[in-house]
Amino acid sequence: MVNRKIVGAHYGLKDWLAQRITGVMMAIYAVLMAVALVSGAGSSHESWKEFMSCGLVRFASFLFIVSLCWHAWVGVRDIWMDYIQPAGIKLVMHVLTLSALIGYAGWATQIIWRL
Amino acid sequence: MTTRTLQFKIYRYDPDQDQKPYMQDIEIEVDATDRKLLDVMVKLKAKDDSIAFRRSCREGVCGSDALNINGRNGLACLTDINSFPEGKPIMLRPLPGLPVIRDLIVDMTQFFKQYHSIKPYLINNDPPPERERLQSPEDREELNGLYECILCACCSTSCPSFWWNPDKFVGPAGLLAAYRFIADTRDQATNERLDNLEDPYRLFRCHTIMNCVDVCPKGLNPTKAIGKIKDMMVKRAI
Amino acid sequence: MSVNVTVRKFDAVIVGAGGAGLRAAIQLSEAGLKTAVLTKVFPTRSHTVAAQGGVAASLGNSEEDHWHWHMYDTVKGSDWLGDQDAIEFMCRKANECVIELEHYGMPFDRTDNGRIYQRPFGGHMSNFGEKPVRRSCAAADRTGHAMLHAMYQRNIKVNTQFFIEWMALDLIRDAEGEVLGVIAMEMETGEIHAFHSKATILATGGSGRIYYSSTNAFINTGDGVGMAARAGIPLEDMEFWQFHPTGVAGAGVLITEGVRGEGGILRNAQGERFMERYAPNAKDLASRDVVSRAMVTEINEGRGCGPNKDYVLLDITHLPPETIMKRLPGIHEIAVQFAGVDALKDPIPVVPTCHYQMGGIPTNFKGQVVVPGRRTMNEEVPGLYAAGECACASVHGANRLGTNSLLDLLVFGKSAGETAVDELKKSPKPHKELPAGAFDKTLARLDRLNTQKNGTSVHETRLTMQRTMQKHAGVFRFNDLMKEGVQKILEVQKDVQQTEIKDKSKVFNTARIEALELDNLIEVAVATMVSAEARKESRGAHVRDDAPDTPEHPNGRDDTNWLKHSLWFKEGNRLEYKSVTLRPLTVDTIALKTRAY
């Protein structure tokens, strides 16, 4: 194959937008948590557990985890794109990152659902 | 006339003579008529004619004499010598991130390649009218802050994203030019221009670090222009 | 230095990628000819980029205007030394060329109805000198920048082949006088190449660096002019140099006449608007030579400003800040940077500064280089064209009108390109054989420079030349000083032949480039000094003490003896003269008249 610099993958916008949206989701979740803590939801283990098991909070937590992983995926992938030039190694790092993040997401969800 | 001495450390490398680059210590007397760094560099060259750098208009419009001055990119002809801290040698290096041809002269091929890649010319396929194409003063105002770019490369060579991917990331100067044509009411190729940039490397390597805004000798804001391109892409996508 | 000269073949070679070169290149590239554009600097670094105020065209976007009025102003501005056929050609072509630029994408400022914005400028009048007219098409005060970028961009679109950072050294001319291309040096490697071509267009710009105080860029070293002189082509009207009234005192950086067009006023130490005395009608917007002389007179008579009373003030503090920031943003920037003045609050110190070379390589209005021959004084040199500041068509005569320089490079850049295309298409022929020893003189010059021992310093010699020119051929000229100047500049010429460089590297050797540039500058300086000394009248920018304003010779102009172009020949350092073309192409001659504003 000729060694030519190729660009034009046409997926930049989607990821950029996703990173912004997931960022906003995480910020909202953080505010939600802060309010909960201030209003005393974390005063005891029981009240905290009760708060976290509420359906709406579970839903929000799940969204947060997905957002976090998605956000991290774009961010970490950007780092590999900047610093790793050989395509093979880059692909391996992408796969490793993706596997780790999917694993983390599953794990975290499991923890929340176990509540 | 009162004179004072300025100390310099200048990056020197002549592939014809030197094994590797080194920093040359050199000092020079300056007087009240020397105002800008370029004035002093011309004096330095009179003292040692082997110091190589580019220069032309000496008034900040041609963009030839961009350098890394005390760690910061700028034009020698617009840098006031009174702005240097006393008692410390002034460090002159070539623009970072581009191959050095010799001394302070860098190979700008990559930079211009990126500029060319955005099709920096008006595209309008209607038959040209007999008179000028009309444009309201308000529409023309959209081009202010865009068309004034002098292609000195201070911005792109201060951009970490450009350092890592100079071959794939268009860089602030090229993206500013891209938006200059997107913003021009006479241009008909907005869609193609957006298509041309919708890529994880070409546009989206910009992480709003804003070094470009910080160093632009013409006070332009490439980051803002890049933001506007992204806004247009979002608008188009949703 | 062992030298291998690589020969490359092209249909056409353009030397220089400023306004004129880029405009010619568009023409040739669009015609599909194999064209090489050689340039010492990246195209957008050419000095056209520094033009500020505008480009003249009688579009009449703000009020009635006509190319004939523009032509009248240009002839009058030239003090009747301009060739009226070329002037008519330029003024008639102006609208077309400016509109073309707009179509290329140039970001002109706009009027409320969306047309190109036009501002008043020095010497631009309606109805044959009656009252000021808005004729200068502008993009803020960055017209040259906007124009040069727009033309470079157009060249990208039409795929022009550039050789960037290549310095042309000499023309290749055979025994029959035909020009067969140029010899050039690739600056990055120091390699010498010959560009063998059927058409060669010189568009190398001016040589303002022969003076100590100049608005010109470092690169304005008259390379094309020097090349032509060495190739035996005479230089026309080299005594006429425009001193721009408003260069920043001390720095030399240009402040556009557009500042006065927008309402700026020149004041002396007493705060007086002194131009009212010198040009009661046009005042601050009189022709440039008139304003410059008035300023120098004020300074010489002790009414200058500052501790040394050596400058006057350009005042715009009475203008609304919005106007300044909208129409003159670059000037505001320059005043802060180079005069340390906030122009909104304080006036800018200015002095007349060398700005433009009216003379140059003699051409006709088609851009063909013409020299005295067996039959006429204007015989075409086959294969050679010139356009822009390096050429002398002659539209500027003894003094150029503001904004006619950008127009000149558009119109004659295009016309030179068109003529070259026509000639090449009319008679398709193979490349003519290069003459034996075509490169010898150039290689000898390079070899001399590389091996010179105990020679002179390029920097010092150049400085001596610049100081000599400044003193002996300045705004006002004196008979005895000019006589002395001729001797002095010939001395400097000897030093130039012995320049020595310490740097012998092959890679981007800027010391060598500066030495080669000095070879060109000195040709221009000698031509200027000798032509100036010989012209025993005052006309336009050439004003001498022994040709004063008398009733017999108003303004010191002597049409009986001196209504003619000077032609300086390098060989023998001699002068010839040729008549001024007073007959335009279609209209009546604009009759000789005393010039007053």
Please give the full DSSP string across B99-131, using - where no structure is assigned. -EEETTEE--HHHHHHHHHT--S----SPPPSS
Provide the 3-class DSSP secondary structure of residue A112.
Answer: helix
Please tell me the distance in Å from A104's CA to the nearest CA on chain B: 25
Catalytic residue among C23, C134, C288, C477: C288
Residue of A nearest to B117 (CA): A7
Rounded distance between C-alpha atoms, residue C259 and residue C333, angstroms: 13
Chains A and C touch (3+ CB pairs under 8 A): no
A70: Cα within 13 Å, side-chain hemisphere: 19
Rounded distance between C-alpha atoms, residue C324 and residue C262, angstroms: 9
Of B144, B120, B66, B61, nearest to C51 by C-alpha is B61
Residue C483, pLDDT > 70, answer yes
Model pTM greater than 0.80?
Answer: yes
Look up C477 and say whether it is catalytic. no
Closest partner residue to C503 (CB to CB) among B50, B128, B187 is B50
Closest partner residue to C156 (CB to CB) among B58, B116, B124 is B116
Q: Which two tokens stand for residue B66?
A: 């961009």
Handedness of CA A93, A96, A99, A104 (dihedral sign): negative
Give chains near B: 3+ CB pairs under 8 A: A, C
- At position A14, the amino acid (one-letter code) is K
Angle at Cα C526 formed by Cα C411 and Cα C211, nearest 5°?
A: 70
pLDDT tens readout for residues C425-477: 998 889 999 999 999 999 999 999 999 999 999 999 999 999 999 999 999 99
Residue A7, pLDDT > 80, answer no
Contact C41 B46 (CB under 8 A): no
As a whole number, mean pLDDT of residues C181-195 equals 97
Q: Kindly indicate whether the ipTM for this predicted assembly is greater than 0.95, answering yes or no.
A: yes
Of C53, C78, C502, nearest to B46 by C-alpha is C502
Is C312:C299 a contact under the CB 8 Å cutoff?
yes
pLDDT tens readout for residues C364-384: 999 999 999 999 999 999 999
As a whole number, mean pLDDT of residues C523-532 equals 98
Rounded distance between C-alpha atoms, residue C69 and residue C279, angstroms: 20
Q: How confident is the model at residue C494 (pLDDT cuts 50, 70, 90)?
A: very high
Closest partner residue to B56 (CB to CB) among C142, C217, C505 is C217
Mean pLDDT over the full length of chain C: 96
Provide the 3-class DSSP secondary structure of residue C510.
Answer: helix
Domains of chain A: 18-114 (1.20.1300.10)
As a whole number, mean pLDDT of residues B134-153 equals 97
Q: What is the pLDDT of residue C179?
A: 98
Q: Which residues of B touch A (CB under 8 A)?
A: 160-161, 164-165, 167-168, 195-205, 207, 230, 233-234, 237
Rounded distance between C-alpha atoms, residue B61 and residue B151, angstroms: 9
Rounded distance between C-alpha atoms, residue C511 and residue B52, angstroms: 8
Which residues 6+ apart lie within 8 Å of C185 measured at CB?
A: C166, C167, C169, C191, C192, C193, C516
Please tell me the distance in Å from B186's CA to the nearest CA on chain C: 8
Backbone angles phi, psi at C542, to 5 degrees: -100, 105
Name B75's bridge partners: B66
Residue C569, pLDDT > 70, answer yes
How distant, in Å, are the alpha carbons of C377, C419, C444, C534, C567 from that of C577? Answer: 9, 26, 32, 11, 6
Q: What is the pLDDT of residue A93?
A: 96
Q: How many CB atoms lie within 10 A of CB B107?
A: 13
Interhelix angle C458-472/B37-47, nearest 10 degrees: 120
- At position B65, the amino acid (one-letter code) is D
Residue of A nearest to B169 (CA): A7
As a whole number, mean pLDDT of residues B5-11 equals 97
Give chains near A: 3+ CB pairs under 8 A: B
Q: How confident is the model at residue A4 (pLDDT cuts 50, 70, 90)?
A: confident
Interface of B with C in 156-185 (CB under 8 A): 181, 184
Is C180:C434 a contact under the CB 8 Å cutoff?
yes
Contact C46 B62 (CB under 8 A): yes
Q: Measured between beta carbons, which residues in chain B are less than 8 angstroms from residue A75?
A: none
Residue C190, pLDDT > 50, answer yes
Of C502, C435, C552, nearest to C196 by C-alpha is C435
Give chains near C: 3+ CB pairs under 8 A: B
Q: What is the pLDDT of residue B147?
A: 97
pLDDT tens readout for residues B184-206: 999 999 999 999 999 999 999 99
Q: How many CB atoms lie within 10 A of CB C463?
A: 14
Rounded distance between C-alpha atoms, residue B230 and residue B175, angstroms: 11
Residue of C nearest to B121 (CA): C153
Residues in chain C: 597
Rounded distance between C-alpha atoms, residue C321 and residue A114, angstroms: 69
Contact C505 B17 (CB under 8 A): yes
Percent of chain B surpassing pLDDT 90: 95
Of C81, C57, C80, C61, nearest to C69 by C-alpha is C57
Of C87, C67, C123, nearest to C589 by C-alpha is C87
Residue B14, pLDDT > 70, answer yes
As a whole number, mean pLDDT of residues B62-77 equals 97
As a whole number, mean pLDDT of residues C100-116 equals 97
C330: Cα within 13 Å, side-chain hemisphere: 30
**B112 alpha carbon, distance to own chain's centre:** 11
Name C161's bridge partners: C36
Q: Measured between beta carbons, which residues in chain B are less than 8 angstroms from residue A7?
A: 168, 199, 201-202
Angle at Cα B118 formed by Cα C48 and Cα A78, nearest 5°?
A: 130
pLDDT tens readout for residues C222-273: 999 999 999 999 999 999 999 999 999 989 999 999 999 999 999 999 999 9
Interface of B with C in 210-229 (CB under 8 A): none
Is B156:B139 a contact under the CB 8 Å cutoff?
no
Rounded distance between C-alpha atoms, residue B32 and residue B45, angstroms: 19
Contact C157 B121 (CB under 8 A): yes
Q: Measured between beta carbons, which residues in chain B are less than 8 angstroms from residue A79?
A: none
Closest partner residue to A13 (CB to CB) among B164, B205, B233 is B233
Q: What is the pLDDT of residue C1?
A: 46
- At position B203, the amino acid (one-letter code) is L
Rounded distance between C-alpha atoms, residue B66 and residue B56, angstroms: 11
Closest partner residue to C115 (CB to CB) among B57, B105, B132 is B132
pLDDT tens readout for residues C582-594: 999 999 999 999 9
Inter-chain Cβ pairs, chain A and chain B, closer than 8 A: 50
Angle at Cα C464 formed by Cα C460 and Cα C470, nearest 5°?
A: 140
Contact B200 A8 (CB under 8 A): no
Q: How confident is the model at residue A1 (pLDDT cuts 50, 70, 90)?
A: low
pLDDT tens readout for residues A50-100: 998 888 999 999 999 999 999 999 999 999 998 998 989 999 999 999 999
Angle at Cα C301 formed by Cα C295 and Cα C305, nearest 5°?
A: 60
Rounded distance between C-alpha atoms, residue B131 and residue C116, angstroms: 10
Rounded distance between C-alpha atoms, residue C175 and residue C161, angstroms: 30
